Amino acid sequence: MPGRFASVMIDNTVPVVNPGQILQQPGNVPVNVCAIINTGDPTFTFRITASAPQSHLLAWDLTAYWGDNKSKSVSSDSYNNHISPSRLWAGVSGVVVPPPGPAPWDANVLNDPTSKHCAHSFWLNAWDRVINGWGYIHGVASYQKSVTLCL
């Protein structure tokens, strides 16, 4: 009908994920991918990027996996924590997580000796909020880095 219109936005971009740097604490000591870590504390921070080019990020999470189906969350965030009138949230870029605070991520898990003596894969996942009217059109964007802890 004349006089009726709808604005349409097209966003074919997918989230960008990069677990850029693993930093052993204390001291922000960079850890190379596939390194065997056999000295120091089992505590780490991570410099990551989990963003959406058009600022439509839904959520991101960083999780450590090791051994026989073991896992432990490192850090995460979602759009629900950043709702604004613009409805835009780009995510994070080059940010160190877990956020500065009481402690870095600790690989030690009570009653699990493998938590400090096993290969660890750190998976960074991100999802965007782009929909087609019925559901999300992009799947998860993922990136993984691995190190071995022998502590």
- Tokens 């956020």 correspond to 99
Per residue in 117-140, pLDDT tens?
999 999 999 999 988 888 888 889
The per-residue DSSP string of 41-75 comes to: -SEEEEEEEEE-TTSBEEEEEEEEEETTTEEEEEE
- Nearest residue to 49 (alpha-carbon basis) of 141, 138, 147, 130: 141
Per residue in 87-123, pLDDT tens?
999 999 999 999 766 689 999 999 999 999 999 999 9
Does 33 have pLDDT greater than 80?
Answer: yes
Region 59-79: mean pLDDT is 96
Q: Is the pTM of this model over 0.85?
A: yes
Q: Give the fold, CATH level 3, of 16-150.
A: Immunoglobulin-like (2.60.40)
Q: Where are the domains of the chain?
A: 16-150
Buried b (16+ CB within 10 A) or exposed e, 100-110: eeeebbebebe
Q: Which two tokens stand for residue 54?
A: 């058009």
The amino acid at 17? V
